[in-house]
Amino acid sequence: MKTVGFIGWRGMVGSVLINRMIKKKDFDGINAIFFTTSQHGGTIPLNIKNKCRILQDAYNIEILSSLDIIITCQGSEYTNKIYFQLRKKGWNGYWIDAASNLRTLIDSVIVLDPINLNLIKKKINMGIKTFVGGNCTVSLMLMSLGGLFKYNLVDWISVSTYQAASGAGSKFMKELIIQMGYIYNHISHLINDASVSIIDIERKISTLMNNTNFPKKNFLAPLVNNLIPWIDKKINNGQTKEEWKGTFETNKILNTNTIIPIDGICVRVATLRSHSQSFTIKLKKDLSTDNITEILNSHNKWVKIIPNNYSDTINLLTPSSVSGTLSLSVGRIKKLNIDKNCFSIFAVGDQLLWGASEPLRRMLKLLI
């Protein structure tokens, strides 16, 4: 039985991973050891039948070196501090990581097995030991549009994202809820007051949002009643790093010979958990909407095609309808009046499941 160390399992992505693993009984097949960066010596607060109930020190290189597999959702800083030390010391175990910093290594694989299982297997056979989950919008796009990539139909993609606060982290989610409450608490007495017009209420809300007391320590701007068309650092060509990842990570996952260009604008919206993306896709050939629908639908069992009508769209093609599930809702599939090979597709998926923890869980399963 493989000994697997879990780091960062208490955070948001880590806890979603652990809950999935409990649900799928994945702990039955491993000897799990839980690590902590701050409370070693304590006992694990999880109801898992494993031998070692004592929390181990996540900075203890000796203990880490004894593991067959390390799976970390602790973040880039931890990875930078520990990964290279361990490898330098000769540790030859498997490292599975949710953080982004190892994705650019030559000898790492970005894992999304419904898309690149053959590449993952090939790399395991070649002795590669570092496997990293992809960026959430990239993984969700590939899972939603998998069929188009499988048959090499994509010429290019332009995308606008609608990314939930969860992608930024738990304190950002909390701040969004605090912002919602802040506005409501300040104006609720006016909503049913017939003498106050909606424009007066809207002006009052705008004033509140521009006030220095408005709670925005993390986002640095209001997200509620607003949006932020910027995610992550600026890079030299005017893109943000989140936008840059579209082409780099997609092509690394697909192991393409010719680069498929994917670019657009990544936008944070006032959604708590699931990410949405609006794609303009130029195909390499003229296919009918029915053809495309069939190709998308038959690629994997998680794709749920949402018929292009009002009622299904507002009920099923939304963050609130997919949050907490593995479903990838794919809809608004239509030919654009721009070019016969251009299509629009709108897709929604859970950022914490397919967008973060599920590819890691499945990679662990592959190794054990």
Residues that bind ligand HSE (CB under 6 A): 135-136, 163, 167-168, 231, 242, 351, 355
Q: Which long-range contacts (CB under 8 A, 24 or more apart) does 170-178 make?
A: 170/11, 170/12, 171/218, 172/218, 172/219, 173/12, 173/272, 173/273, 175/215, 175/216, 175/217, 175/218, 175/219, 175/223, 176/219, 176/223, 176/224, 176/270, 176/272, 177/272, 178/215
10 or 275: whose CB is closer to ligand HSE?
275
7 or 352: whose CB is closer to ligand HSE?
352
Sign (positive or negative) of CA dihedral 169, 172, 176, 177: positive
Q: Are 278 and 159 in contact (CB under 8 A)?
A: yes
Least distance from ligand HSE to the Cβ atom of residue 332, Å: 21
Position with the least CB separation from ligand HSE: 167
Please, which residues bridge with residue 44 across strands? none
Q: Copy the structure tokens of residue 192.
A: 């049913």
Measuring CA to CA, which residue among 273, 275, 270 is closest to residue 181? 270
DSSP 266-325: --EES-SSEEEEEEEEEESS---HHHHHHHHHTT-TTEEEPPSSHHHHHHHSSHHHHTTS
Q: Copy the structure tokens of residue 52.
A: 């070692």
Least distance from ligand HSE to the Cβ atom of residue 115, Å: 16
Measuring CA to CA, which residue among 50, 45, 55, 59 is closest to residue 26? 50
Least distance from ligand HSE to the Cβ atom of residue 311, Å: 29
136 or 283: whose CB is closer to ligand HSE?
136
Q: Copy the structure tokens of residue 126.
A: 């070649």
Which residue among 40, 52, 73, 136 is the active-site one? Answer: 136
Which residue among 73, 266, 275, 342 is the active-site one? Answer: 275
Region of 264 please: left (phi>0), alpha (psi -120 to 50) or beta. Answer: left
179 or 351: whose CB is closer to ligand HSE?
351
Least distance from ligand HSE to the Cβ atom of residue 240, Å: 10
Least distance from ligand HSE to the Cβ atom of residue 133, Å: 8
* Helix 358-367, helix 113-125: angle, nearest 10: 40
3-state secondary structure of 221: coil
135 or 293: whose CB is closer to ligand HSE?
135
d(CA 64, CA 62): 6
Least distance from ligand HSE to the Cβ atom of residue 112, Å: 12
97 or 293: whose CB is closer to ligand HSE?
97
Least distance from ligand HSE to the Cβ atom of residue 278, Å: 15
Name the helix (H) or strand (E) containing 124. Answer: helix 113-125
36 or 163: whose CB is closer to ligand HSE?
163
Active site annotation includes 275: yes
Instruction: Report the catalytic residues.
Output: 136, 275
